[in-house]
Structure 1
């Protein structure tokens, strides 16, 4: 066969492969996880934790944008269990969101298989237990979503990647914490801080991370704790910020980063210091007694211990606010995005609705409750999304118990399922007001949003003049400083039932959350998937016939 004939055959084969690959599904990754109790000793005493495959933290999901992720979860606990995927948007698929408002829990001794895609997403995320206070016992782990090979990344491939899960840790059984909150009390100061499930390393301890001199490494840092904002830093090294909550950022360099509850950051660290050990540090912010955890980074081939002097942390929340103001979205980076490059000019879209949500703390029947706009959320026995899908929502919850404005101070708090509606594909501004003394943090499932502004006091329309309407970092979790406000903007184009919650876990458990119902009027598969065939049923929907499917 001539070389021309061979090249023709080769071209034909390549065209054949390309043709069939274009119509093929994205690759599948399969995981089988067993959820069970285990024991760790982070502070020298035994602590029961929730493990996944006997690991704490749980195994990493290392995937690529648009991969099909199939996770078969076997519940060997003595209580119901659910996993949620913090920051994974679940496009058209709140059935896989793993929240008490969208899914029936996995009963003890049974299993459920999740199937989801990080559709048009890249970045650093994590999974966690979403029922009650189970997150206080662990059950969490990292998710890495890489860019597809054809999409350039705005930095060279690192020599290695490290997951760093930092958290406050109470050292008390999650069941004991539940009883404490149910009795009307709230969480006080944690026992300490953990890094990847371990307490502070001491000089001479085994290293957690290894570096080779001259190389660059990516650290994916997530605050998976219950309450505390944490400052992250590495002794003797700077941090080049490259990603926040799934968005590439302008690559500013920092000595340390404030990572608030529920947030994830990626930084590049160059091993450009003298070969020795160095401390990686996570310490609490905005509390009187600073709690610190350390882990050891070792340069390969070195036996020189780290110096005991840890790099200092910043002090005021004003410093943290100014750091947030320095974050900018990388508008020139090619990356997976929910909207095509250059086409999403959020600052030029007309706002169709403004929702102001103010938190409050009060006693109801002598017990502590937290609320948004006067309603303290409670989960019904039938998940909200399933009640809506089967058409029995009127007997389970009522829409829009709250209005778009906070009630007058002193208004009695109502305990009920808190569900608001948002018109499909409308552009909405949400103002998160924090009239209280502590830093708060909010997460919205199913979406990324643009945090356009922050400021002290109560928000007014005049504050829009201070908004960043060009390059605010698209993300899913944002802090609200004490006695301050934060403004976010987004298009509600992802049909489903989505949880907006406080990431301060006692506040979330005692009512500071709500669900947003976004319904497509067409009831079309173009906008939302049907209920999965393997969906668990519970409560009054157990024996109901399926509604007509979307088509």
Structure 2
């Protein structure tokens, strides 16, 4: 076993050394992950889950700015599999994005090595499976980017760093749930909520999940890894000071509870300033008829009392959540994390070159359930879109711009690969219009964007007067409340093929996603890395020689 690990590390090093555009002097972190099935009972019912090195949730990746992260993934499942690194802005490197539009899935019994570099996006992130409905079975974990010593963070270094992965959970297997969607049935309401893979109940003895020493301050990284439900997170008897959100330091407001929507991560500071005893962490679903709640225990090191069975109440209604969103502001005085990969800090002064209005929608024609944007429902072709484009065979796999910049007046739903051609370095305004009665959450790979507005009603150009053009948080996931809209601004300057998708995974699986193709006219290494030698080839490009490298 030791010999195999050493060989894997050597292979990882050679792969890393051959990747174009990565600075050799920056440190490397090597991981070997075995992805397998296992049986556990997080809600009291034995079920099949996806384990990473035998762990559920998977192991945390703790990295530091400029680290090269090399993850050698061995797939021991009975289906093809991919990981995606949600929120990590892989500059010029969509080859490592780990979604079906950019990567061939890792076949059963084989392995693939991911290699990417984390940059100045200090904060909290997650990874999870992007294939099929594997996310419903686990395979997710935390990914942290720490600051280098020479870049100060805008608060004192905490006593300890804790990752908290919360999310809804179903007792049926990912294959059963996928069968529901394929047969025209939605997933329905979840069966419970997990906190780091467990569902604690009030009054039932639990081992402490975390411990705190009186008087000290701790950093909690809270991420929603669930399929469907927004989660309200709170800590009994304690306030939380928000300091970072999806790679950006925020103005440090304090909250009794936080709504964390699908795919989102918040970092808070919690001070152990209460009576020394046990306290409950509480996570409960939001905006669903049947509220599901789970707890975990925080124990003071010298505590001698049990947690009170009286849990702090969750807020009611989505107006509360909207008002909370309006309190989030970018910390403009912090030296990091202030990522600036897209455009200027003065984003409010940049001229908008294109406006795209994305209306979510659902089709149930002939008993078939599909979701989409602007009445186009994405399907993944056998050849990943990025490979087809790179091999100059895009015309054999997909058509550009099937989806228009605004929903047309038609009831027809189109099902085909959905690729939008974005002009390199254009500054674009995207409006997410939610015409439904349920909350939506959307994510963009490869970029941060400025979340300038979330408002009820219908968007019109006059609503730009309400945009926050000074200190909107630079982030990668945005929620849209029922019968509401959200506006984001960004410069499409990261060449590659990047996924824009719903973070409510049944909607993604059934087509509510598309890809933005950003091509550099120069085809230069200045703008995009060459295809790595280790890239898996499949579909119509399988076995073909790789095109001439960029210079």
Task: Please tell me the TM-score bracket, short chain as reference.
Answer: over 0.9
Equivalent-residue separation in structure 1 for 2:154 and 2:37 (angstroms): 41
Q: CA deviation at 1:400?
A: 0.2
Where does structure 2 lack aligned partners over 5 or more consecutive residues? 1-22
Instruction: Please show how residues 394-543 of structure 1 align to structure 2 within 5 Å.
Output: 394-408=395-409, 410-543=410-543
Q: d(CA) in 1 for partners of 2:303 and 2:274?
A: 12
SS at match of 1:422: strand
User: After superposition, what is the alpha-carbon deviation per residue over 1:335-375, rounded to whole angstroms, capped at 9, x for unaligned?
Assistant: 15442899521101000000000011112342011110110
Determine the structure 2 residue equivalent to 1:324.
325
The corresponding residue for 1:351 is 352
For residue 48 of structure 2, what is the aligned residue in structure 1? 48
CA distance in 2, matches of 1:485, 1:43: 35
The answer as to whether partners of 1:331 and 1:342 remain within 8 angstroms in 2 is no
Task: Tell me if the contact between 1:82 and 1:98 (Cα under 8 Å) persists in the aligned partners.
Answer: yes
Counterpart CA distance in 1 for 2:484 and 2:281 is 31
Matched, 1:379 2:380: yes
TM-superposed deviation, 1:419: 0.5
Q: Deviations over 1:245-281 (max 9, x none)?
A: 1100000000000000000000000000000000000
Shift of 1:545: 2.0
Give me the TM-score of the superposition, normalised by structure 1.
Answer: 0.94
Deviation at 1:289, TM superposition (A): 1.4
Deviation at 1:139, TM superposition (A): 0.1
Q: Contact 1:100 / 1:379 at 8 angstroms: preserved in 2?
A: yes
Task: Give the aligned CA root-mean-square deviation in angstroms.
Answer: 1.3
Matched, 1:103 2:103: yes
Q: Write the mapping of 1:165-204 to structure 2, written as runs, cut at 5 A.
A: 165-203=165-203, 204=205
Say which SS state the counterpart of residue 326 (structure 1) adopts.
Answer: coil
Aligned residues: 528
Q: Judge which range, 254-263 or 341-350, deviates more.
A: 341-350
Q: Partners in 2 of 1:60 and 1:325 — Cα distance?
A: 31
1:327 Cα offset (Å): 0.4
The equivalent of 1:259 in structure 2 is 260
Q: How does 1:264-413 map to 2 (within 5 A)?
A: 264-339=265-340, 344-408=345-409, 410-413=410-413
Structure 1's 75 and 140: CA in aligned 2 closer, same or farther, altered over 3 A?
Answer: same
Partner Cα separation in structure 2 for residue 439 and residue 137 of structure 1: 23
Residues 56-75 of structure 1 show CA distances to partners (whole Å, capped at 9, x for unaligned) of 00001001011000000011
Rounded Cα–Cα distance in structure 1 between residues aligned with 2:191 and 2:285? 11
- Indicate if the aligned counterparts of 1:51 and 1:139 stay in contact, CA closer than 8 A: yes
Inter-partner Cα distance in structure 2 for 1:221 and 1:494: 28
Q: Find the counterpart in structure 2 of residue 153 from structure 1.
A: 153
What TM-score does the superposition give when structure 2 sets the normalisation length? 0.94
For 2:108 and 2:86, the matched residues in 1 are separated by: 23
Instruction: Tell me which residue corresponds to 1:7.
Output: none
Bigger CA drift: 480-489 or 341-350?
341-350
Structure 2 equivalent of residue 544 of structure 1: 544
After superposition, where does 1:83-232 map in structure 2 within 5 Å?
83-203=83-203, 204-232=205-233
SS in 2 for 1:288: coil
Does structure 1 conserve the Cα–Cα contact (< 8 Å) formed by 2:342 and 2:491? Answer: no
Distance (whole Å) between structure 2 residues aligned to residue 414 and residue 365 of structure 1: 14
Point out 4+ residue stretches in structure 1 off by more than 6 angstroms. none
Structure 1 unaligned blocks of 5 or more: 1-22
